[in-house]
Chain A
């Protein structure tokens, strides 16, 4: 059962990597990067689930690392989106006539 999700996670990494490389829209690249990351997280989850086969419950160490990783991935995405919005604002400012710059 966990192998099924392991294969899906491998496909998610491939999909995310493809979107990250070829997509022209920066926001879509951030989305694709999150797909790639979540694929890696699910791989961790599969490893944790396999740990349960050899004894007690699932291995809590990869699970805890994934919880930490989800928060860090969110923080990185928020920073990337902040940079993207600022870049777009700067592009709009540069494209508009200089009279609009008086603020």
Chain B
């Protein structure tokens, strides 16, 4: 047990050290590299907090997809007009530091003073789980108890993508995002982009299927599919799709639409919006998750690809 405690202490110290590095590093590129390492370390923290579903999502999104997004942004921001890099005056920094310390200390005090028999919805969640036909309580919360959150969150993904697309210049607005790199990609990248996608796609779909009963689900699965697509875009093996492509738009809205349709059908068949008829709960949830993984993968990859910057061919 003391070995586990020592591991946790080292992990927490490393996470804090890397986090301090991402704030303090001189070079933006170094800070971004630190942030990717931070995302992966945070996934370990989630494992230690007995939350493997969150760990998978954090590793795929926080460490993977966000990393590509930040690295390409840092590379594009590197040239051009130098930013205003003047730090605020020392007195202001000291004041800000003191106030942030107060916030952190107050939060730490709250953590230490939490009520002792910790309140928990775990027994209720476990008790109602058989009715959904699922074995993973986290998926039960996402798809049944708090389905409205999950539905709105998928709408947020589409809205964010519309926001990114609307930053395009008028001439290109229904065109294609620019390719991730203009120079010919290195051979190793092309090789990896041929080798990994078959494995990654199967693993992503497997995570989706597994999510009903074990850690997994449409979010980590969708992030993995998106990562495979981004890899192929970076290696030049696939062209970024034009924004006006109808199949692409259909894939983006498939998840929210299927979820909404099944939710509305629930008003008639089960008596409430987003409720499932008892004997059909599991197949309907798997159907919603299958539509969701397509939309999540497409939205994540296109958010990384950015606004259209070329006319459609």
Contact = CB atoms under 8 A, between A and B. Distances in A.
Interface of A: 1-19, 21-28, 31-32, 34-35, 38, 41-43, 45-61, 63-68, 70-72, 74-79, 81-86, 88, 91-92, 95, 103
B303 A78 contact: yes
B62 A85 contact: no
B51 A63 contact: yes
Interface residues of B, number: 97
A14 B132 CA distance: 40
B112 interface: yes
28 contacts: A5-B8, A6-B112, A8-B15, A8-B16, A24-B85, A27-B28, A27-B77, A28-B23, A41-B54, A42-B49, A45-B51, A56-B122, A57-B137, A59-B121, A60-B138, A61-B145, A63-B138, A64-B138, A64-B149, A70-B61, A74-B62, A74-B69, A75-B159, A75-B299, A78-B164, A81-B69, A82-B164, A85-B167
B73 to A, nearest CB: 5
A75 B161 CA distance: 8
Given A7-B108, A22-B93, A82-B307, A51 B62 contact: no
Contacts of B22: 19, 31-32, 35
A59 B296 CA distance: 25
Contacts of A47: 114, 118
Contacts of A34: 35, 66
A35 B62 CA distance: 11
B146 interface: yes
Interface stretch (B150-158, B238-246, B274-282): B150-158
A31 B32 contact: yes
Grouping DSSP codes into helix (H, G, I), strand (E, B) and loop, the B interface class, with mixed when no group exceeds half, is: helix
B163 A82 contact: yes
A84 B77 contact: yes
Given A49-B50, A61-B121, A88-B81, A14 B138 contact: no
A77 B300 CA distance: 12
Contact of A56 (B9, B46, B123): B123
A85 B76 contact: yes
B88 A27 contact: no
B46 A58 contact: no
Contacts of B300: 74
B199 interface: no
A25 B217 CA distance: 36
A43 B81 contact: no
Interface string B94-113: 00110011011101101110
A71 to B, nearest CB: 6
Given A57-B126, A63-B138, A75 B103 contact: no
Nearest to B109: A10
Contacts of A71: 57, 61, 153, 156-157, 219, 296
Given A4-B12, A71-B153, A52 B54 contact: no
A24 B9 CA distance: 32
B186 interface: no
B3 interface: no
Contact of B105 (A10, A66, A68): A10
A35 to B, nearest CB: 5
Nearest to A86: B167
B100 A14 contact: yes
B191 interface: no
B121 A84 contact: no
Interface in B159-173: 159-161, 163-164, 167, 171
B149 A65 contact: yes
B61 A74 contact: yes
Contact of B122 (A2, A13, A59, A84): A59
A64 B120 contact: no
A78 B67 CA distance: 11
